[in-house]
Structure 1
Amino acid sequence: MKTIPLSLIVASVLVQAAAHNVQSIQYDGMVHISETVAKRLNEVKVGEPLDPSAVDKTIKNFYDQGYFEDIWVDETDGKVTFHFKEKPVISKIELKGYKENDEAAQKELLQIEKGSLYDEKRLENAKKRIIDALSGDGKIDSVVEIDSEKLDNGSMRVSFIVNEGEEIIIKQVRYAGVSALDSDDFDSMIANKQEEFMGWMWGRNDGKMKLAELQYDPLRIRDYYMQNGFLDAKIDEPFVQVDFDHYTAQMDYNVFEGDVYRVSDILVFQDTAVIDDKELLDVIALEKNKPFNIKTFREDADRIKTKIADLGYAYVQVQPDLRKDKEAKSVDVVYRITPGKKVKIRNVIVSGNNRTLDRVVRRELFLAPGDWYNLTNLKDSRNAIGRTGYFESNTIEEKRVDDETMDLIVQAKEAPTGNIQLGGGYGSFGGVLVSVAISDRNIFGSGINVGLNLERSQRTSNYSFNISNPRLNDSDFSGNFSIYDSSTEYDSYTVSSTGMSVGTGHRFDRHWSGYMGYNYSTNNYSDIDPTVTTLDPRYYENYAKSSVVLSATFDNTDDYYIPREGVTFSQSIEKAGVGGDADFIKSRTTFGAYRGLQKLTDFDLILRYKARFNYVDDSGYLPLGEKFYMGGIGSVRGYQGYSLSPVNGVDSDGDPFKIGGTQTFSNSLEFSVPLVPEARMRATAFVDYGMIGENSLSEIKRGGYGVALEWFSPVGPLQLVFANPIGDKPGDDVTHFEFTIGQRF
Structure 2
Amino acid sequence: MMKKIVLAWMLLSAFLLAQKVTQVKFEGLAHLSPSVAQEIADIHVGDEMDAAKINESIKNFFSQGYFKDVWVDKQGGTLIYHFKEKVAIANIDIKGYGSGDDGEKLLASIGLKKGDLYDSRRAQKAKKAIISRLEAKGYYDTVVDLSTKPVGESSIALTFDVNKGEKIKIKKMNFVGASKMSKGDLEFDLANKEADFMGWMPFLNDGVANIDQLEYDAFRVKDVYMKHGYLDAFVSKPLMRVDFGAYDAEVDYQVSEGNQYRVGDVSIAQNIEGLDTEKLLGNLSLKKGKIFNIKRMRKDMKDLKEAVGNLGYAYANVAPQMHKNPETKTVNIQYVLQAGDEVTINDVLISGNNTTKDRVIRRYLYLAPGDKFNARDLKDSKSALGRTGFFENVDIQSQRVSANKINLLVNVKEAATGTISAGGGYGSFEGLMLNASVSDKNFLGSGITGSIGFDVSRVSTNYNLSFTNPKLWDSQYSLGFSIYKKNYEYTNFTQDQLGGTLTLGREFFRYFHASIGLGYMDNQSESNDNNFTASSTARQTNTTITQDVIDLFYGDKYKKTSFFANISFDNTDDFYTPREGMVAAINMEFASLDGSLTGADIAAFPGGYGKYVKTSGKFGLYYGVEDWIDYDLIFRFKARAASIDGNDGEKIPVAEKLFMGGIGSVRGYQPYSLSPGINGL
Could you tell me the TM-score, scaled by structure 1's length? 0.73
Q: Distance in 2 between matches of 1:570 and 1:72?
A: 78
Deviations 1:374-409 (A, max 9, x none): 111022112213323345655555454432334446
- Among all aligned residue pairs of Structure 1 and Structure 2, give the percentage whose two residues are the same amino acid: 35
* CA apart distance, 1:31: 2.4
Q: Distance in 1 between matches of 2:234 and 2:53?
A: 60
Partner of 2:2 in structure 1? Answer: 3
8 Å CA contact 1:543–1:581 kept in 2: the answer is no
* CA apart distance, 1:202: 0.9
8 Å CA contact 2:9–2:55 kept in 1: the answer is no
8 Å CA contact 2:493–2:532 kept in 1: the answer is no
Match runs of 1:66-215 below 5 Å: 66-99=65-98, 103-149=103-149, 153=153, 155-215=155-215
* CA apart distance, 1:143: 2.1
| 1:628 corresponds to 2:659 | yes
Q: Distance in 1 between matches of 2:556 and 2:675?
A: 20
What letter is aligned with 2:146? I
Change (3 A) 1:21 1:630: same
* CA apart distance, 1:57: 2.9
Partner of 2:232 in structure 1? Answer: 232
8 Å CA contact 1:462–1:485 kept in 2: the answer is yes
Q: CA RMSD in A?
A: 4.3
8 Å CA contact 1:109–1:129 kept in 2: the answer is yes
Deviations 1:389-430 (A, max 9, x none): 345655555454432334446566766656676778999988
What letter is aligned with 1:554? F
Q: Distance in 2 between matches of 1:105 and 1:531?
A: 61
Partner of 1:379 in structure 2? Answer: 379
Unaligned runs of 5+ in 2: 536-544, 594-608
Deviations 1:132-174 (A, max 9, x none): 2111211112222323455774643432222211111211112
Deviations 1:709-728 (A, max 9, x none): xxxxxxxxxxxxxxxxxxxx
Partner of 1:660 in structure 2? Answer: 674
Q: Which piece of structure 1 moves more, 285-294 or 325-334?
A: 325-334
Larger fraction in helix: 2
Give 3-state SS (helix, strand or coil) of 2:367's partner: coil
Q: Which piece of structure 1 moves more, 165-174 or 340-349?
A: 340-349
Change (3 A) 1:646 1:499: farther
What letter is aligned with 1:59? I
* CA apart distance, 1:326: 4.3
Q: Distance in 2 between matches of 1:657 and 1:215?
A: 60
Partner of 2:606 in structure 1? Answer: none
Q: Distance in 2 between matches of 1:478 and 1:45?
A: 69
8 Å CA contact 2:221–2:235 kept in 1: the answer is yes
Q: Distance in 2 between matches of 1:43 and 1:217?
A: 56
* CA apart distance, 1:234: 0.8
* CA apart distance, 1:64: 1.6
8 Å CA contact 2:16–2:49 kept in 1: the answer is yes
Match runs of 1:639-718 below 5 Å: 642-647=664-669, 659-660=673-674
Partner of 2:554 in structure 1? Answer: 540
* CA apart distance, 1:130: 0.7
What letter is aligned with 1:593? Y
Change (3 A) 1:51 1:271: farther
Q: Distance in 1 between matches of 2:428 and 2:276?
A: 73
Q: Distance in 2 between matches of 1:141 and 1:259?
A: 44
Unaligned runs of 5+ in 1: 632-640, 648-655, 663-694, 696-745
Match runs of 1:278-677 below 5 Å: 278-348=278-348, 360-390=360-390, 394-396=394-396, 398-408=398-408, 437=437, 439=439, 441=441, 447-453=447-453, 460-471=460-471, 476=476, 478=478, 480-489=480-489, 493-501=493-501, 505=505, 507-514=507-514, 521=521, 523-526=523-526, 528-529=528-529, 537=550, 539-542=553-556, 552-560=567-575, 562-563=576-577, 565-572=579-586, 580=609, 587-591=616-620, 593=622, 609=636, 611-614=638-641, 625=655, 626-628=657-659, 630=661, 642-647=664-669, 659-660=673-674
Q: Distance in 2 between matches of 1:573 and 1:155?
A: 65
Q: Distance in 2 between matches of 1:223 and 1:287?
A: 20
Deviations 1:104-153 (A, max 9, x none): 24532444334431112321221122112111211112222323455774
What letter is aligned with 1:591? G
* CA apart distance, 1:38: 2.3
Change (3 A) 1:286 1:81: same
Deviations 1:157-206 (A, max 9, x none): 43222221111121111211112222211222111111111111111111
Change (3 A) 1:172 1:461: closer
Larger fraction in strand: 1
* CA apart distance, 1:461: 3.9
Match runs of 1:8-47 below 5 Å: 8-42=7-41, 44=43, 47=46
> Matched residue pairs, number?
641
What letter is aligned with 2:618? T
Q: Distance in 2 between matches of 1:301 and 1:531?
A: 67
Q: Distance in 1 between matches of 2:481 and 2:116?
A: 57
What letter is aligned with 2:170? I
Q: Distance in 1 between matches of 2:277 and 2:22?
A: 79
8 Å CA contact 1:168–1:208 kept in 2: the answer is yes
Match runs of 1:232-271 below 5 Å: 232-270=232-270
Change (3 A) 1:94 1:606: farther
Could you tell me the TM-score, scaled by structure 2's length? 0.79
